[in-house]
Structure 1
């Protein structure tokens, strides 16, 4: 985990991860485009499905504002493919099985699951400008309302 949490104004840490399309996606190769980089706990769970559907349904709204969407979890590419196909997702899902990017962005947090402590992804979104700077670092977001709230924030 990073010693300091990333905040607005920080340079977005660069990374390369494999996508559900079997391609390597490198953040720095997207320079010149805005990026919505969202981290979610697990494919095919209720909250993560609701959030992904929100991004799917509003992809064109984000594109009109100059942003492309990238979803990141620790799930495998195979799991991402199943999730993408089942939910008709229209943006890349990136596999971070080694938690490298999760740790770069400081989203791995201690959580309580069924009364036991464990480490998992804190649902978080980073809005990255075309120059690679973080405009917004949103942590602990709510799956069902996050996408609408994010759109309002970016339109303001």
Structure 2
């Protein structure tokens, strides 16, 4: 597992395919604040809860100047099915080789039902992206709970 990121760290750049196969980069959000969250698998109960909660909060988040990007190891075809089924209103990106997950410290050992396994660590970051497209981490949260996470994050960000 790579090192965890924290407040003030440089956000590792990425360029990944979205659910439609279009490339989305962190640099595309130049001059903005973006919530980048990593989740284990589309169409699972916890990941669905989290994505639906972010979608429900999009008006308030957008009004506060925040965009949202979800990243998982799922292939774009599965992400498109997930987006369409759950009416997800923000980009879902595919990191099938887990290189971005690893760079952000969101992939590694975790306990699952009492067993130590390697997998995606549900993680959320708030990134301030400067005009040149380089990001700085302002919030880094690892091993977050899917249920209630978006409400908790909104409270912490005063949104």
Relative to the length of structure 2, the TM-score reads: 0.92
Tell me the distance in 2 between the aligned counterparts of 1:142 and 1:105. Answer: 18
Structure 2 partner of 1:80: 79
Partner residue of 2:153 out of 146, 150, 153: 150
Alignment of 1:40-79 (within 5 A): 40-79=39-78
Q: 2:18·2:92 contact (CA, 8 Å) conserved in 1?
A: yes
Q: 2:27·2:129 contact (CA, 8 Å) conserved in 1?
A: no
Tell me the distance in 1 between the aligned counterparts of 2:87 and 2:119. Answer: 25
RMSD: 1.3
Tell me the distance in 1 between the aligned counterparts of 2:95 and 2:45. Answer: 20
Structure 1 partner of 2:97: 98
Q: Secondary structure at the match of 1:109?
A: strand
> Alpha-carbon deviation of 1:99?
0.2
Tell me the distance in 2 between the aligned counterparts of 1:128 and 1:120. Answer: 23
> Alpha-carbon deviation of 1:116?
4.1
Instruction: Pick closer, same or farther for the CA change 1:91–1:115 going to 2, 3 Å.
Output: same
Q: Secondary structure at the match of 1:61?
A: helix
> Alpha-carbon deviation of 1:117?
3.1
Relative to the length of structure 1, the TM-score reads: 0.94
Tell me the distance in 1 between the aligned counterparts of 2:113 and 2:146. Answer: 19
The alignment covers a number of residue pairs equal to 155
Could you list the per-position Cα deviations for residues 125-152 of structure 1 after superposition, in whole angstroms to 9, with x for gaps in the alignment?
Answer: 0100132211000111110110001101
Runs of 4+ residues deviating >6 angstroms: none
Deviates more, 1:108-117 or 1:79-88: 108-117
> Alpha-carbon deviation of 1:115?
5.1
- Please list every run of 5 or more consecutive structure 1 residues that lacks an aligned counterpart in the other structure: none
> Alpha-carbon deviation of 1:47?
0.5
- Please list every run of 5 or more consecutive structure 2 residues that lacks an aligned counterpart in the other structure: none
